[in-house]
Amino acid sequence: MLLLPGAMVYYIRLLKPPTFDQDENLHDKVRLRVVMAITTDLGDAFYPGELSIFIGIITAADTRRLGPVIWKPGARCLKFQINIHLRYLTALTRLLFTCSDSLDVDSLVLGKVPDVVSAWTDEFTGHKALFDDVVIRRFTLQRERGLDIFEKNGESIARHIWDAAIALAVWLLKHKEKVQQADGKRNCILELGAGCGLVGLVLASMSENQNCQLILTDVDDDSLRLARYNAQCSRNAFNSVWQCCTLDWREPQKFSTDQHPTIIIASDCIYNADNIPDLVRTFSHLVRQSCESSKGSVTPKVIVSTKRRHPSEEMFFNLMTKAGFEQSDHDKVPLSDRWREKAGQDLDVVSIHVFSLPVQALS
């Protein structure tokens, strides 16, 4: 039996901003030019099969579907142009590129990771619009709530959503009871290596009326700017207070906050073995700092999601044990892959690990 490549999420990526060209021969139409690819989170593989891509023209009053255009097996890039009637572009408009013929928004509440993540443009008006170098990932969360996550266009893997973040978001939405405070108090969530801020913002959306405190951290200034923008765009949807801060794992002692984190999260942060000792020290410092500053009233949970890439990642779990952490929960989230499912093969998984630091380890 043919063994297919490991299961993974694929992402529709706009390799550069779309453009409109007006041609006098088109009269009442304008030509949309698009350059896209369908790749993994790391951009190291392309969608292996044929796939129909539909283009949605979305306004507040109307939705139009065009296409499909076809992604072919073996492709590394898809360039196409499509003519759009000018009357569709007179209102505030978004473009959607998706494999859903019904133009559905990607859902994170079905307990299943989407296998191909759609791409949206920001809002624009008219055929002379100039698109920014961003793409939006739009997700349905809960109770008709949605979340828009802005990413950077292009081929770089920086400042993009990765598989383990989506899988952790799906798991958190499915297991809300694991992150609720037993005493009904509000959560204070601190995300390490937040990137776009997806997981932290999903957690904040789950806090209902508890006025959650969210702290998004990263060492990369561009990532922090993007996380800050995503938090600003979502602030009206979620009853939470947020801040974005620099946190360098090599010097966790330089980070301080007057808040007491109850949940510390990190997704896909152990792929680089050189960073693992610093990450473990950062977890230990943050947990102890929260316990001490709250005078023992708060003992944070540490929740980590990882998509295993190489054996050296085992070092993380060994060092967490040596630091006194105990693993209180472990789960797996399968990654959707229609090709492996058709072949009857097992799906790859993202592993979810929940750690705590016992009281005796704090002394």
Q: What is the 3-state secondary structure (H, E, C) of 221-251?
A: HHHHHHHHHHHHHHCCCCCEEEEEEECCCCC
> HSE (CB half, 13 Å, CA atoms) of 95?
29
Q: Cα angle vertex 168, ends 77, 293, to 5°?
A: 130
pLDDT band at 129 (very low <50, low <70, confident <90, very high): confident
Phi, psi of 148 (to 5 degrees): -100, 125
Is residue 342 predicted with pLDDT exceeding 70?
Answer: no
What's the DSSP call for residue 258?
Answer: S
In which residue are the tokens 């706009």 written? 14
Strands 10-14 and 19-21: unpaired
Q: Which pLDDT belongs to residue 200?
A: 94
233 or 284: which carries more pLDDT confidence? 284
Q: Is the pLDDT of residue 198 over 90?
A: yes
Find all residues with CB under 8 Å of 73, minimum gap 6, and list them.
48, 49, 50
Residue 18 in 3-state DSSP? coil
Q: Which pLDDT band holds residue 4 (cuts at 50, 70, 90)?
A: very low
Percent of the chain whose pLDDT exceeds 70 = 89
Is residue 24 pLDDT above 80, yes or no? no
Per-residue pLDDT at 346: 65
- For residue 116, give the amino acid letter: V
Q: What is the largest CA-CA distance in the chain?
A: 78
Q: Which structure tokens are listed for 154? A: 């292009």
Question: In this prediction, what percent of the chain has a pLDDT beyond 90?
Answer: 58
Winning range, highest mean pLDDT, from 8-12, 158-162, 232-236: 8-12
pLDDT at position 19, please?
92
Tell me, rounded to whole angstroms, the distance of Cα 34 from its chain centroid.
23
pLDDT band for position 205 (50/70/90)?
confident
* pLDDT above 50: residue 2: no
Q: Look at residue 126 and tell me whether its pLDDT is greater than 90.
A: no
Which residues, at least 6 apart from 93, have a Cβ–Cβ distance to it below 8 Å? Answer: 57, 58, 59, 123, 124, 125
Contact status, residue 66 vs residue 30, Cβ threshold 8 Å: no
Cα 269 from Cα 307, distance rounded (Å): 9
Q: Where does the pLDDT of residue 257 fall: very low under 50, low under 70, confident under 90, or very high at 90 and above?
A: confident
Q: What is the mean pLDDT of the chain?
A: 88
Most confident of 20-29, 54-63, 330-339: 54-63
